[in-house]
């Protein structure tokens, strides 16, 4: 079978760290092209890659099958739309778009063009979330009545990426780390019925939201999603309370940090957490309390690309589809509305 010729819309950290290594290693893909407007860096690592000065020139290359839109959030809709209109399959970084309307238009266009549209929600394959899912699937906790997910950091400095710190559409933590938490919640529990959200600015020089607190209301449970940049002593990132007991897990996936060292995502030890990062399960079984650590699952971001390969090669649904991205955008938009009105938003 012919390899899927893939083009990147950027070769910054996202292209260098999160996309190119996986595309280059997967036997079903060919890292074919990159859009580089100034510095030409991709060929230093991938000598055979084609570099384009203009996006339109890259999209007009009929050999390209898949385009990865890994540019600033406010460009996602425009670039993904152009790629779909050019007859390409598209993988879009999070956040999928800036608005629900943009997401709906891309989903409709992909269907019209009969092309695959996927969203890069790689943290479904973090070791942490895979472990949480394993515990949920085991049924040990019983019916879940409360859950809380965190993605916290301690960094008061502004990002050197200007687009992340200026008041452009899609800037701020809600559109940056928020999509990870929201997608994980939907992945595990489905869409909530109602949403309440709070957005704040906590860093002295910040112009964009850098604190996000979201409450999701389900028929039989409530869920809280929080992300902030002023959290020096983080609490467990995954907290689940069920009728039989509780599970707590820290955020310990090593894939991002490992990729940043230049290591390739391969080998038996790829994605394995360090010892001591296991989650704690505390449950009641036949009237007896059992408290034990749960071995962590192995992280594997390659699973997203394997799913995308199968979607394109065998006409399957992407593991994170455009429809999944649309669901995330509906919650993001509800959070913005809730923060503005101080009310609970019914979806």
pTM confidence score: 0.96
Give pLDDT tens digits along the chain (347 positions).
789 999 999 999 999 999 999 999 999 999 999 999 888 999 999 999 999 999 999 999 999 999 999 999 999 999 999 999 999 999 999 999 999 999 999 999 999 999 999 999 999 999 999 999 999 999 999 999 999 999 999 988 888 888 888 888 898 999 999 999 999 999 999 999 999 999 999 998 888 999 999 999 999 999 999 999 999 998 999 999 999 999 999 999 999 999 999 999 999 999 999 999 999 999 999 999 999 999 999 999 999 999 999 999 999 999 999 999 999 999 999 999 999 999 999 99
Length of the chain as a residue count: 347
**Per-residue confidence (pLDDT) for residue 26, from 0 to 100:** 98
**Per-residue confidence (pLDDT) for residue 103, from 0 to 100:** 98
Question: What residues have CB less than 8 Å from 222, skipping those under 6 apart?
Answer: 145, 146, 147, 215, 216
Per the CB < 8 A criterion, the answer to whether 56 and 30 are in contact is no
> What residue ranges define each of the domains in the chain, with the CATH number in brackets?
4-122+304-317 (3.40.50.720), 124-299+331-346 (3.30.360.10)
Lookup: tokens for 199: 């957005």
**Per-residue confidence (pLDDT) for residue 55, from 0 to 100:** 98
**Per-residue confidence (pLDDT) for residue 237, from 0 to 100:** 97
Helix (H) or strand (E) holding 85: helix 76-85
Q: Which residues of 282-291 are buried (b: 16+ CB within 10 A; e: fewer)?
A: ebeeeeeeee
pLDDT tens column, 79-119? 999 999 999 999 999 999 999 999 999 999 999 999 999 99
DSSP 178: H
Side-chain half-sphere exposure of 85, counting CA atoms within 13 A: 9
**Per-residue confidence (pLDDT) for residue 165, from 0 to 100:** 83
**Per-residue confidence (pLDDT) for residue 161, from 0 to 100:** 81
Task: Give the span between the Cα atoms of 135 and 113, in whole angstroms.
Answer: 40
Burial of residue 17 (number of CB atoms within 10 Å: 0-12, 13-18, 19+): middle
**Per-residue confidence (pLDDT) for residue 49, from 0 to 100:** 98
């Amino acid at each position: 079978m012919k390899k899927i010729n893939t083009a990147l819309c950027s070769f910054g950290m996202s292209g260098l760290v999160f996309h190119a290594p996986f595309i280059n290693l997967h036997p079903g893909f060919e890292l074919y092209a990159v859009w580089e407007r100034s510095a030409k860096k991709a060929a230093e690592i991938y000598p055979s890659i084609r570099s384009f000065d203009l996006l339109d020139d890259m999209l007009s290359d009929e050999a390209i099958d898949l385009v990865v839109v890994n540019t600033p959030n406010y460009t996602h809709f425009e670039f993904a739309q152009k790629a779909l209109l050019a007859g390409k399959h598209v993988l879009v970084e999070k956040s999928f778009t800036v608005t629900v309307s943009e997401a709906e238009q891309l989903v409709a266009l992909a269907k019209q063009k009969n092309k695959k549209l996927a969203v890069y929600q790689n943290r479904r394959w973090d070791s942490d979330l895979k472990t949480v899912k394993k515990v949920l699937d085991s049924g040990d906790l019983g019916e879940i009545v409360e859950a809380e997910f965190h993605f916290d950091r301690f960094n008061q400095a502004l990002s050197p990426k200007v687009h992340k710190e200026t008041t452009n559409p899609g800037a701020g933590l809600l559109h940056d780390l928020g999509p990870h938490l929201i997608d994980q919640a939907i992945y595990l529990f489905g869409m909530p019925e109602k949403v309440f959200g709070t957005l704040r600015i906590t860093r002295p020089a910040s112009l964009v939201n850098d604190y996000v607190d979201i409450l999701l209301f389900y028929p039989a449970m409530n869920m809280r999603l929080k992300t902030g940049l002023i959290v020096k002593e983080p609490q467990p990132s995954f907290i689940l309370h069920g009728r039989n007991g509780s599970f707590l897990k820290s955020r310990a996936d090593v894939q991002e940090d490992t990729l940043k060292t230049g290591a390739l995502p391969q080998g038996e030890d790829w994605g394995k957490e360090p010892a001591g990062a296991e989650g704690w399960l505390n449950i009641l079984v036949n009237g007896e309390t059992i408290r034990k650590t749960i071995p962590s699952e192995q992280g594997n971001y390659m699973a997203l690309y394997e799913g995308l390969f199968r979607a394109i090669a065998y006409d399957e649904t992407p593991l994170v589809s455009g429809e999944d991205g649309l669901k995330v955008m509906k919650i993001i938009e509800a959070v913005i509305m809730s923060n503005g009105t101080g009310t609970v938003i019914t979806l």
